[in-house]
Amino acid sequence: MLFISCSQAQETTLLDSKHSKDKKVLIVYLSRTKNTKAVAEIIHQNVGGKLIALEIQNPYPKNYQETVAQVSKENELGFLPPLKTKIDSIEQYDIVFVGFPTWGMQLPPPMKSFLSQYNLKGKTIIPFNTNAGYGIGNSFDKVKELSPESKVLEGFTIKGGIERDGILFVMEGEKRVEAERKVKEWLNKIGYHNGTND
């Protein structure tokens, strides 16, 4: 029974790719301590496309606790912070990777802003995540909820830093090598066999 349900789930997570390399790729990421940025760069090395950092008009405080309090309030109120980042002609992209850290076991408000502001209907969305060891929370489910007319594939997650404990950027040395290996395995699993560095 478990095998059957796994097989069915796997079918829905593969790219409908005749050739992934023929698809136009956009990689949008939110990164506070640069760990998600590092994963975004690894994905970019493997699949090519356009790489864009997501920024908001009014940046979060540098102080971690202040940011936690602000994000908690934004989640409670359903507030979507206005984006500074502008993406032209988003309709040209077929595949959109969206990367973010886990904040309060949820999808960060700026990524909610992005998914709510841009029309991704008919596109393939592929989430990726870094977290402090507690996992993705409900973030991947929220991506699906905010993208009802898109195909959302199986996401990627990896442990990054633990900002609460003062452990910030960790995606270097052996950790980066491990991340590169895991990203490649994940891309292969979701059917991304024809990555390009164009």
Average pLDDT score over residue span 47-71:
97
Average pLDDT score over residue span 189-194:
80
For residue 95, which phi and psi values (nearest 5 degrees)? -125, 130
> Quick check: 54 pLDDT over 50?
yes
pLDDT tens-digit series, residues 4-47: 333 333 334 566 554 466 789 999 999 999 999 999 999 999 99
> Quick check: 2 pLDDT over 60?
no
Report the predicted TM-score, pTM, of the whole model to 2 decimal places: 0.89
Using 50, 70 and 90 to split pLDDT, how confident is the model at 86?
very high
Using 50, 70 and 90 to split pLDDT, how confident is the model at 193?
low
Output helix, strand, coil percentages for the chain, rounded to the nearest 5.
Answer: 40, 20, 40
The per-residue pLDDT for 22 is 79
> Quick check: 185 pLDDT over 50?
yes
> Quick check: 127 pLDDT over 90?
yes
Average pLDDT score over residue span 68-72:
96
The per-residue pLDDT for 14 is 61
Q: DSSP letters along 107-171, please?
A: --HHHHHHHHHS--TT-EEEEEEEESSS--TTHHHHHHHH-TTSEEPPPEEEE--BGGGTB----
Q: What is the mean pLDDT of the chain?
A: 90
The per-residue pLDDT for 192 is 84
> Quick check: 55 pLDDT over 80?
yes
The per-residue pLDDT for 195 is 47
d(CA 106, CA 75): 9
> Quick check: 101 pLDDT over 60?
yes
pLDDT tens-digit series, residues 114-126: 999 999 999 999 9
Indicate the fold that domain 21-189 takes in CATH: Rossmann fold (3.40.50)
